[in-house]
Amino acid sequence: MSGGVDSSVAAARLVAAGHDVTGMYMQLSNADSFYKYGIDDDPQDAAAVAAQLGIDFLLWDFAAEYQREVVEYFASEYAAGRTPNPCLKCNRTIKFGQALDRAVAEGFDAFATGHYVQTSRAGGVTSLLRSRDLLKDQSYVLGVLNQWQLSHTIFPLGAETKAEVRAEAERLGLPTSSKKDSFDICFIREGTSAQFLIDHLGVRPGAIVDESGAVLGSHDGAFQFTVGQRRGLHLGHPAPDGAPRYVLSTDPAQGTVTVGPHDHLRVDTINGHSLTFTESRRTEPWDGFAQWRAHSRPIPAHFSYSGDTLTATLAEPAFGIAPGQFLVCYDTNRVVGSAVIE
């Protein structure tokens, strides 16, 4: 229970269905943390909902694990010139890693969250499906889960829309019914990602150059930029053709950020490593859909494998795909698995 409306309604539904439910809040920061995770009233809100529902409430401390697995990963990936996704890393290693493992070890039969996804079970296999509410669908951020994790998890909200969930929370009189949705990067509550990284990694000045190597500007750290970025370049003069320029690549070792025209961001093939499959491992080629951001439009793709490497050949060009992002593969609306883009 995060202290938000989604997990509150998920808990209420499980209670109404007759389950023996215990609420759990994940404490992800403490006095020694570099960042501040969570609004101050989040654990209090979660506890208040648990009390109203008449269920036990636990606070489990994963601050050290979260700092190591998510925050340090976020900073180190940018420092290496890649674009991380901390939400997927958190889901894999903390929420459905440390927390789920502890829940099973302590004797709980299942682990439930307020994510907007659906599951189906057949032949002893649990499949991960998109939510009914495609605007809130969170299957992308859960595309890193494996079969064991999915088989121990319940998602009570997958068949509902966000509006229906809020209305249900209001009918139940839950104190979180009107609470705003959470932040995109939960551990950056104030300022920008760029400022967070400067605070964490320090200032590392370098040059912004074009593809010929001509210096166009300067920056305080190549880690502040990601492939496809247009804003925040602060170049001294326009391109010769007057067209906007985009970040094509970053080289933290040299301290350079290379910019160029939009069509130079074109990608037709994606290679990925660190494969995860939600059901059984696939080795044969197949056709499906590729998605590399939480709410990007899925693009038809042909997937093939060579050892631990995935190749996705796109049916249409894509732009602004960055190394380090997660590629999630779909068979229609069913998640097949994921890879880290190389």
> Among 48-62, 94-108, 132-146, 178-192, where is mean pLDDT lowest?
178-192
The domain limits of the chain are 5-114+156-172, 203-260
Residue-level pLDDT at 194: 86
pLDDT range class, residue 294, cuts 50, 70, 90: very high
Residue 36, token pair as written in the block: 């501040």
Catalytic (active site) residue 90: yes
Mean pLDDT of all residues in 210-215: 94
Q: Residues 46, 23: contact at Cβ < 8 Å?
A: yes
> Among 21-35, 179-193, 207-221, 293-307, where is mean pLDDT lowest?
179-193
Catalytic one of 88, 165, 186, 321: 186
Burial status of residue 131 (CB atoms within 10 A of its CB: 0-12, 13-18, 19 or more): buried
> Among 33-42, 131-140, 142-151, 254-263, where is mean pLDDT lowest?
33-42
pLDDT range class, residue 38, cuts 50, 70, 90: low
Q: pTM for this structure?
A: 0.94
Residue 290, token pair as written in the block: 């590729």
Residue-level pLDDT at 242: 83
Q: Give how far Cα 264 sits from Cα of 42, 113, 240, 244, 258, Å.
A: 44, 41, 16, 12, 11
Residue-level pLDDT at 37: 62
Q: How many CA atoms lie within 13 A of 232 on its CB side?
A: 17
Q: Which CATH class is domain 203-260?
A: mainly beta
Residue-level pLDDT at 239: 81
Question: What are the tens digits of pLDDT across the range 144-201?
Answer: 999 999 999 999 999 999 999 999 999 999 999 888 877 678 888 777 888 889 988 9
Measuring CA to CA, which residue among 42, 54, 56 is closest to residue 172?
54
Calculate the average pLDDT of the chain.
Answer: 93
Residue-level pLDDT at 289: 98
pLDDT range class, residue 39, cuts 50, 70, 90: low
Domain 5-114+156-172 = CATH 3.40.50.620: yes
Catalytic one of 1, 24, 90, 248: 90
> Among 149-153, 234-238, 287-291, where is mean pLDDT lowest?
234-238
Residue-level pLDDT at 236: 74
Mean pLDDT of all residues in 245-260: 95
